Amino acid sequence: MSAMIKVGVVGASGYTGLELIKIILKHPIFELSLVATSEGGGRVDTLHPSLASICNMSVIDANVEQIARGCELVFLALPHTASMGYVKDLVALGVKVVDLSADYRLDLKTYESYYVPHTDRENLKIAAYGLPELNQEQICESSLVANPGCYPTASLLAILPFMKYLQKDSPIIIDAKTGVSGSGKKLTNESHFVHINENVFAYKPFEHRHAPEIAQMLLVDESRVKFVPHLLPLTRGMLCSIYVSVDGDFDPVEVLREFYAKSPFVRIYEQPVSAKQSAGTNFCDIYATRSANTLFIASSIDNLLRGASSQAVVNANLMMGLDEDVGIPDIAYVP
């Protein structure tokens, strides 16, 4: 195996870090050469006990030089605003980066209005938005890819095929439903079992930071995107139910099939899709139907995989000249 490519994971303690490690360990070309957290210390299988007897690598603290020595490409699974601190130096040292945070997803003005002042404006300009179905060519040539959020991934893949049919200036309503792993390991009232079991509720309606990311990639004004996320008693899984006003005579399933004819990781269904059927995979499953001028689109993804880690590895594949599907999980956990 002379052709193995050394890759690292920085920010390995969270769910997306774990998913990255799981995929890389089974990847036929990538070799996991470095695992880091902000504090360092311990081993991978103490950080994630389910990896006992699978991976006992040491966990180091994240140091740019060490990363550059050990990796051709690195995945940053860090909190928003923490990524910026690494990317600048890593790119300067010639390391390719897939950044799972929001730091390189938005244009400068939007980013700064939702987050903090940006400290790496140069790289912000050159980062590719890592939605392979939208942006494959740019990703292939880029050394810095901003991996999309889970909500934008499921929303964009559902809406993009229908943009030309949308009524001018009409609202784009996204009723998103997601499991608890999307909020990470942090202990909050909302993630307490007793609070979310036998429950469902909207949170931050119309206020969520992902709406501007969706608007930007749809090339529409942010005010058109009406985004309402809901928390459900699921561990994994995301279903976006989208409602838009359309004109024209078209069969929505046919539109989807044509649009994604060459996309290996989008599946089109003639029946409503379920969150469970895509959990464990990189697939985005989509269904659409219409009632007069109202179009309903439902898209399902695994929020931790297609919404984060497996999409990140697809991007890494493309950046390293591999086929996009090398080592990517495609068989659902069902049942």
Is 150 catalytic? The answer is yes
Chosen residue from 160, 320, 326, 332 binding its own copies by CB under 8 A: 332
Chosen residue from 230, 257, 259, 320 binding its own copies by CB under 8 A: 230
- C-beta of 56 vs 119, nearer to its own copies: 56
Residue 165 CB, shortest distance to its own copies, in Å, is 15
List, in order, residues 6 or more apart from 29 with CB less than 8 Å away: 3, 4, 5, 320, 322, 326, 327
Residue 241 touching its own copies (CB under 8 A):
yes
Run of H or E including 228:
strand 225-231
- C-beta of 219 vs 331, nearer to its own copies: 331
> How many whole angstroms separate alpha carbon 334 and alpha carbon 62?
36
- C-beta of 130 vs 252, nearer to its own copies: 252
Site for its own copies in 154-173 (CB under 8 A): 171, 173
Residue 321 touching its own copies (CB under 8 A):
no
SS3 state of residue 307: coil
Residue 307 touching its own copies (CB under 8 A):
no
**How many residues at the interface with its own copies, by CB under 8 A?**
82
Residue 327 touching its own copies (CB under 8 A):
no
- Give residue 156's Cα distance to chain centre: 11
- C-beta of 22 vs 96, nearer to its own copies: 22
Which window, 14-22, 115-123, 132-140, 310-318, contacts its own copies (CB under 8 A)?
14-22
Quote the DSSP letter at residue 185: S
SS (H, E, C) 88-117: HHHHHCCCEEEECCCCCCCCHHHHHHHCCC
Site for its own copies in 242-301 (CB under 8 A): 243, 245, 264, 267, 269, 272-280, 283, 287, 289-294, 296, 298, 300
> How many whole angstroms separate alpha carbon 234 and alpha carbon 197?
9
Residue 2 touching its own copies (CB under 8 A):
no
List Cα–Cα distances, 115 to 71, 214, 299, in angstroms.
29, 16, 28
| Sheet of strand 30-37: strand arrangement | 60-61, 30-37, 5-10, 73-76, 96-99, 144-146, 128-129
Peptide bond into 335 cis (omega under 30): yes
Residue 228 touching its own copies (CB under 8 A):
yes
CB 240 within 8 A of CB 147: no
| Residue 218, φ and ψ in degrees, nearest 5 | -85, -10
Residue 307 CB, shortest distance to its own copies, in Å, is 13
Chosen residue from 26, 69, 121, 125 binding its own copies by CB under 8 A: 26
Which window, 19-27, 105-113, 139-147, 307-315, contacts its own copies (CB under 8 A)?
19-27
Chosen residue from 59, 236, 252, 308 binding its own copies by CB under 8 A: 236
Site for its own copies in 175-204 (CB under 8 A): 175, 177, 179-181, 185, 187-189, 191-203
List, in order, residues 6 or more apart from 137 with CB less than 8 Å away: none
> How many whole angstroms separate alpha carbon 318 and alpha carbon 324?
6
Q: Which of 71, 150, 240, 284 is catalytic?
A: 150
Residue 51 touching its own copies (CB under 8 A):
yes
- C-beta of 104 vs 287, nearer to its own copies: 287
SS3 state of residue 16: helix
Q: Which residues are catalytic?
A: 150
